[in-house]
Amino acid sequence: MDQERSGGISSTGIVLIVLACLGLGVLVCAGVIIVCLVAITALGTSANRTFGTVAGRVGVEVPPEQAARQLVHDLGAGLTQAAWEETSLEFQSRHIKAGGPDQSKYFAALLPAHPSLKNPASIEIKTQMLDPSQPMVQATVITQSGEKTIINLKMKKEFGEWKVNDVSVSGEEKKKGAGKKQAPAGKNGKKD
């Protein structure tokens, strides 16, 4: 009691001050942890938006044939930008048009040169594994009328995913009889 009258702090007061400091420390640490978790979540969301969701792909590798089929399918649907995004960085650096906002001009120019690639009836895929790090996929695009176009796609693994590293059209086969010209008709509509 003499301490209280003389302005000193009792042992109960000291305990209360220590508990208040500990409580304040716990609150500050909890706040720092929450801020860190929010920042990590934001970074993860940004990384997923940029690089794709990693969690969905762990242990499940998309084979090169499927990646090649997707590019050919996108070309057939006229989705040139989607096809461009399925190519490797090396391919993109070789074919990008300087100063142009449309990066997919390579594929936009490929489609008119090979119109049989548009709207395929079916796509047949064959793989050649001469070099396992860069397999070659041959896609045969078959139109509704039976025309065939063969595309060779060299694949490359990039950031854990198969990407198209080179594209070449090696052959186009018209349906038999489609390229033959008929004799002109006479005056009465019958052949001479």
**Span 37-92, pLDDT tens digits:** 888 888 877 776 666 554 444 556 788 889 989 999 998 888 888 888 899 999 98
Helix (H) or strand (E) holding 141: strand 136-142
3-state secondary structure of 98: coil
pLDDT tens-digit readout, 117-156: 888 888 888 888 777 778 898 988 988 888 888 999 999 9
State phi, psi for 136 to the nearest 5 degrees: -105, 130
Strand-strand pairing, 148-158 and 122-128: unpaired
pLDDT in the model for residue 1? 47
With a cut of 70, say whether residue 186 has pLDDT above it: no
CA distances from 149 to 46, 164, 172 (A): 40, 18, 4
Rounded Cα–Cα distance for residues 90 and 159 (Å): 13
Give me the residues paired with residue 124 across strands.
140
Radius of gyration of the chain from its Cα atoms, rounded to whole angstroms: 33
pLDDT in the model for residue 78? 86
Confidence tier at 183 by pLDDT (50, 70, 90): very low
**CA angle in degrees (0–180, nearest 5) for 63-69-70:** 95
Confidence tier at 31 by pLDDT (50, 70, 90): very high
Percent of the chain at pLDDT exceeding 70: 76
Domain boundaries, the chain: 12-51, 64-173
Residue 68's contacts (CB-CB under 8 Å, 6 or more residues apart) are: 125, 137, 139, 153, 155, 162, 164
103 or 142: which carries more pLDDT confidence? 142
With a cut of 70, say whether residue 2 has pLDDT above it: no
Which CATH superfamily is 64-173 part of? NTF2-like; domain 1 (3.10.450.100)
